[in-house]
C-alpha cells in the first residue's frame, strides 16, 4: 500500500512539473516550477549563467557555462557565493549557510502561460536585480527580492548571484599581469555583466524583451545597477537603471564611506600586496589553493577603476556623458543614517566635518540642547539625501544626457520594524510588492495601508521598467528632476512633488560641495 501511495505521489509530482513550459536556452532546456507565493507565476531557479569560478578560474573573469543534456530541473535555488555568515534571516539575508564557490546562478520569475510558444510571444519588460550587502554578502534568493509580486504585473524579474568579498574584489599586480586587460579586482562586477549578457541572449524564450532590460539594486546593488550604465562592457544591454539608496552627487562626502564608491587601481593592488604578505603567499597559484579566503574582512570591498570595466571616476563620467543615455530612477529613505547625539558629540563631529563652513552650518542646524542636536543632525541627513539625489540628476543632464532622472524620498516605516522608521532597505517590501509573501517574521499582520502603498509603489516601478517613465493612470504625477526645479517625489506616507530643502540649505550645501573631493 505504501509503495502504491508513493508511486501515486511521484506520478502527481511528475505531472505537475510537466505542466510548466520547457524553455530553450543557449546551454539547453530548463523547466521551472510554480511560485510558492503567487498563483499564475512560474519561477526558474538556479540557472547557471557562467562556469563555476573555482580552481584555475578563481580570481578570473567568468567564462561561459557548459551545455547540459536533457531538461535542467530549475526548481531549487543555487548556493550563495562564499561570504561571512549572514546570520539570521532578514530583509537582506536568507539565514542560510549553504555557500559555495560554484555560485554563479540566476533566477527568473515570469507570468505563467499555457505553453512555451505562448510564453515567447509576450515580449515583456525585464527587471534585472542586483542585491546589496557592501560587496561582502548577499544572494539572489533572499525572500525580499522574490519576483512574483512584479511578475503578476507582467514584468519578468531576474536575480543574479555574483562573487563578493575577496573572491569578487581582490586586486593584485600579479593578477593584473595575468589579464589580457591588465585588470584585477572586478570579478564580482564582471559576474553581474555576464549575467546581464546571458539574460539579453536568452530572455526572449522566457517571454522577455531583450531590448527592455532595466537594472535595479539597493545599497551596493544600487551602485552596481548604475555601473551597468557606466561600464562600456554592459551599457549596450540596458534600457534604464533603478538605484535605491542611491545615486549621490560626485562631491558628496558620504560617497567615501558607503558602498557606492570605488578604489583606484593602484590603491586596490597595494592592498592586495599587503594581504599576500599576511597570508604568506607569493603567487596567484598559491592564493588559488587557499580554502578560507572568504573570511578576510578588511574595509569594504569595492569595484576598481581598472581602465577596462570602469574607465573614469563618476564625476568625470557624468561630465563627459560617457555612459548609457538611459532613464534613471533613484532616491533614499527618510531615516537612513539617523542617530542620537548629545550637544558635545554633535558640535565636535560637525565641526570636524564642515571645518571652515561649521559656523554657517550651526546657524542652519543649531544644537544647543541634546534634543536639538539630535533633531538637527537628523534633519541635515534628510536634507542631504534629497539634495544629493537632485544634484546627481542635475549633473546627469548638465553632462549632455538626453534622458530623465526621477528622484524620490520614501517615508513609510514598515510594519515589521516601526522603531527603525523608514530605514535602509525599508522600501524593498513595497517596490517588490512582497507584503507579506516575503515576510520572515512569523504571525505579523500588515495594515491595509501598507498593501495599498505596496501596490502603488510597485506600479511606479513597473511603469518605469516598462517605459522609462514611472507615471501612469491613477498615480500622482512624478516629474523628472531638473536643475531649475529643486523638487523630489515623496513616496509612502504622502505622495507628490515637494521641495528638496529650503533655498538657504541648498545654497549652503552647493557652496560646501564645491570645495570637496570629487568621486
Choosing from 35, 219, 377, 385, the catalytic residue is 219
Q: Is the dihedral of CA 265, 270, 275, 277 positive or negative?
A: positive
Half-sphere exposure of 452 (CA within 13 A, CB side): 9
CATH of the domain at 494: 3.40.50.1820
Residue 134: alpha-carbon gap to chain centroid: 10
**How many independent structural domains does the chain possess?**
1
Residue 81 falls inside a structural domain = yes
Closest to 80 (Cα-Cα) out of 106, 98, 93, 58: 98
Residue 15 falls inside a structural domain = no
Residue 3 falls inside a structural domain = no
Residue 172 falls inside a structural domain = yes
- Domain of 184 in residue numbering reads as 23-513
pLDDT values of the chain reduced to their tens digit, one per residue, 519 residues: 434 444 443 444 444 555 678 999 999 999 999 999 998 999 999 999 999 999 999 999 999 999 999 999 999 999 999 987 656 667 777 777 788 999 999 999 999 987 667 777 889 999 999 999 889 889 999 999 999 999 999 999 999 999 998 899 999 999 999 999 999 999 999 999 999 999 999 999 999 999 999 999 999 999 999 999 999 999 999 999 999 998 888 887 776 655 456 788 998 999 899 888 888 888 888 888 886 666 666 656 889 999 999 999 989 999 999 999 999 999 999 999 888 999 999 999 999 999 999 999 999 999 999 999 999 999 999 999 999 999 999 999 999 999 999 999 999 998 766 678 898 889 999 999 988 765 555 567 888 999 999 999 999 999 999 999 999 999 999 999 998 889 999 999 999 999 999 999 999 999 999 998 888
3-state helix, strand, coil in the chain (%, to 5): 40, 15, 45
CA distance 458 to 468: 14
Residue 7 falls inside a structural domain = no
Residue 109 falls inside a structural domain = yes
CA distance 377 to 389: 19
234 as an active site residue: the answer is: no
Residue 281 falls inside a structural domain = yes
Residue 12 falls inside a structural domain = no
DSSP secondary structure letters along 423-488: -TTTTHHHHTT-TTTT--STT----HHHHHHHHHHHHHHHHHHHHS----TTS---PPP-SS--EE
Amino acid at each position: 500500500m505504501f509503495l502504491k501511495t508513493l508511486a501515486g505521489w511521484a506520478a502527481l509530482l511528475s505531472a505537475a512539473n510537466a505542466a510548466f513550459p520547457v524553455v530553450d536556452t543557449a546551454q539547453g532546456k530548463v523547466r521551472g516550477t510554480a511560485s510558492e507565493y503567487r498563483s499564475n507565476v512560474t519561477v526558474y531557479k538556479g540557472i547557471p549563467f557562467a562556469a563555476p569560478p573555482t580552481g584555475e578560474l578563481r580570481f578570473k573573469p567568468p567564462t561561459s557555462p557548459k551545455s547540459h543534456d536533457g531538461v535542467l530541473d530549475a526548481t531549487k535555488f543555487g548556493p550563495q557565493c562564499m561570504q561571512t555568515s549572514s546570520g539570521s534571516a532578514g530583509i537582506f539575508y536568507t539565514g542560510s549557510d549553504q555557500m559555495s564557490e560554484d555560485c554563479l546562478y540566476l533566477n527568473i520569475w515570469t507570468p505563467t502561460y499555457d505553453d512555451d510558444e505562448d510564453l515567447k510571444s509576450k515580449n515583456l519588460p525585464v527587471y534585472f536585480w542586483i542585491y546589496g550587502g557592501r560587496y561582502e554578502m548577499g544572494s539572489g534568493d533572499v525572500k525580499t527580492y522574490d519576483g512574483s509580486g512584479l511578475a503578476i504585473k507582467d514584468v519578468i524579474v531576474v536575480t543574479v548571484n555574483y562573487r563578493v568579498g575577496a573572491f569578487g574584489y581582490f586586486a593584485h599586480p600579479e593578477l593584473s599581469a595575468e589579464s589580457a586587460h591588465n585588470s584585477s579586482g572586478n570579478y564580482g562586477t564582471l559576474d553581474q555583466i555576464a549575467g546581464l549578457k546571458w539574460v539579453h541572449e536568452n530572455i526572449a524564450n522566457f517571454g522577455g524583451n531583450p531590448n527592455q532590460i532595466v537594472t535595479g539594486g539597493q545599497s551596493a546593488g544600487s551602485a552596481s545597477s548604475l555601473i551597468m550604465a557606466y561600464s562600456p562592457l554592459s551599457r549596450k544591454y540596458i534600457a534604464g537603471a533603478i538605484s535605491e539608496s542611491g545615486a549621490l552627487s560626485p562631491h558628496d562626502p558620504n560617497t567615501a564611506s558607503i558602498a557606492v564608491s570605488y578604489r583606484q587601481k593602484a590603491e586596490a593592488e597595494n592592498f592586495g600586496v599587503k594581504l599576500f604578505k599576511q597570508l604568506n603567499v607569493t603567487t596567484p597559484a598559491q592564493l588559488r589553493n587557499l580554502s578560507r579566503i572568504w573570511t578576510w574582512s578588511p574595509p569594504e570591498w569595492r569595484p576598481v577603476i581598472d581602465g577596462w570595466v570602469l574607465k573614469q571616476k563618476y564625476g568625470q563620467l557624468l561630465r563627459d556623458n560617457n555612459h548609457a543615455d538611459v532613464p534613471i530612477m533613484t532616491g533614499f529613505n527618510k531615516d537612513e543614517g539617523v542617530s542620537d547625539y548629545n550637544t558635545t558629540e554633535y558640535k565636535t563631529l560637525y565641526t570636524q566635518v564642515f571645518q571652515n563652513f561649521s559656523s554657517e552650518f550651526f546657524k542652519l542646524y543649531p544644537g544647543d540642547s541634546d534634543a536639538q542636536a539630535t533633531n538637527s543632525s537628523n534633519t541635515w541627513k534628510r536634507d542631504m539625501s534629497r539634495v544629493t539625489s537632485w544634484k546627481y540628476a542635475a549633473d546627469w543632464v548638465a553632462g549632455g544626457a538626453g534622458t530623465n532622472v526621477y528622484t524620490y524620498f520614501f517615508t513609510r516605516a514598515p510594519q515589521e520594524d516601526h522603531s527603525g522608521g523608514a530605514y535602509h532597505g525599508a522600501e524593498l517590501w513595497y517596490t517588490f510588492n512582497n507584503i507579506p509573501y516575503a515576510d520572515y517574521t512569523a504571525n505579523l499582520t500588515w495594515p491595509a495601508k501598507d498593501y495599498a502603498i505596496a501596490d502603488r509603489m510597485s506600479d511606479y516601478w513597473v511603469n518605469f521598467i516598462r517605459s522609462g517613465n514611472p507615471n501612469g493612470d491613477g498615480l500622482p504625477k512624478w516629474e523628472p528632476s531638473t536643475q531649475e526645479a529643486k523638487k523630489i517625489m515623496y513616496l509612502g506616507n504622502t505622495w507628490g512633488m515637494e521641495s528638496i530643502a529650503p533655498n538657504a540649505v541648498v545654497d549652503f550645501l552647493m557652496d560646501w560641495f564645491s570645495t570637496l573631493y570629487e568621486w
